[in-house]
């Protein structure tokens, strides 16, 4: 199936993007690209079940262009486009406050590349912050299995620094200074609500 972004560029699923990346220990990547999303989905399910917060992963609206019907009971989507550029991954409500966040991970060990974010996501986060929403990013350094909570206001400053000719990444040291380390737990796996309570 061909799936294209609104700008016409072809969409490549994470699994395909990650096939070429190998783990130096055992020669396989073992689908670690989905780990952060899975952990957050489990965390959000825990929050809902315990009536702590209602947070969901946003669906991405798709426009189907071409469908083949190899037989009467089956349809195969051959071509589709993303209707809109996506904003952030997750949103919901906690104690009457709107929550909106993006989740990203990197194989880098010393910095987080800003190219992992898109201008429309940054603009969306600015709008949420301007409206008084709780907005942040969850960043995972996969090689260390370290997860950080970084408020959007800091990400926006690092983005502005890049736009004015500064570095194109956030150093791990900067993330440690401006963000909050989230120790991985059992239930919930990534307890970001605990950080929100601190703030």
Q: Whole-angstrom Cα distance, residue 74 to residue 126?
A: 44
Give the pLDDT of residue 17: 42
Q: Is residue 74 part of a domain?
A: no
Intervals of the chain under pLDDT 70 = 1-34, 61, 82-85
Residue range of the domain that includes 139: 30-59+85-198
**In this structure, what token pair is assigned to residue 192?**
């970001």
- Give the model's pLDDT for residue 79: 81
Instruction: Note whether 56 and 37 are within 8 A (CB).
Output: no
Does 73 map to a domain?
no
Environment class of 57 (CB within 10 Å of its CB; exposed 0-12, middle 13-18, buried 19+): middle
Within a 13 Å sphere around the CA of 139, how many CA atoms are in the beta-carbon half? 32
Tell whether 48 is covered by a domain.
yes
Q: Is the peptide bond before 148 cis (omega within 30 degrees of 0)?
A: no
Examine residue 122 and state whether it is found in any structural domain, yes or no: yes
Q: Which of 52, 62, 140 is nearest to 101 (CA)?
A: 140
pLDDT of residue 192: 98
Distance (Å, whole) CA 139 – CA 102: 9
pLDDT of residue 87: 84
Q: Can you give the CATH number for the domain in which 90 is found?
A: 3.40.1350.10
Examine residue 12 and state whether it is found in any structural domain, yes or no. Answer: no
Domains held by the chain: number: 1
- 124 φψ region: left (φ > 0), alpha (ψ -120 to 50), beta (else): alpha
pLDDT at 75: 83
Whether 53 is in a domain gets the answer: yes
Distances (CA, A) of 79 to 53, 67, 82: 37, 7, 11
Instruction: Tell me the C-alpha distance between 139 and 181, whole Å.
Output: 10
| Both structure tokens of 43 | 């965390």
From the number of C-beta atoms within 10 Å of its C-beta (0-12, 13-18, 19+), residue 112 rates as buried
Q: What is the pTM of this model?
A: 0.75
């Amino acid at each position: 199936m061909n799936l294209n972004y609104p700008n016409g560029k072809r969409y490549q699923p994470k699994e395909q993007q990650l096939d070429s990346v190998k783990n130096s220990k055992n020669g396989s990547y073992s689908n670690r690209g989905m780990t952060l999303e899975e952990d957050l989905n489990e965390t959000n399910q825990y929050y809902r079940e315990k009536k702590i917060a209602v947070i969901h992963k946003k669906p991405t609206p798709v426009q189907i262009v071409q469908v083949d019907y190899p037989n009467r009971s089956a349809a195969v989507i051959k071509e589709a486009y993303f209707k809109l550029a996506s904003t952030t991954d997750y949103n919901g409500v906690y104690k009457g406050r709107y929550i909106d966040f993006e989740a990203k991970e990197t194989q880098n060990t010393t910095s987080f590349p800003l190219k992992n974010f898109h201008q429309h996501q940054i603009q969306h986060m600015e709008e949420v912050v301007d409206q008084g929403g709780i907005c942040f990013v969850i960043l995972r350094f996969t090689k260390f299995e370290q997860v950080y909570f970084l408020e959007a206001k800091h990400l926006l400053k690092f983005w502005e620094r890049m736009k004015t000719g500064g570095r194109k990444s956030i150093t791990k040291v900067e993330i440690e200074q401006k963000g909050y380390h989230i120790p991985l737990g059992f239930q919930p796996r990534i307890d970001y609500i605990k950080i929100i309570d601190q703030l």
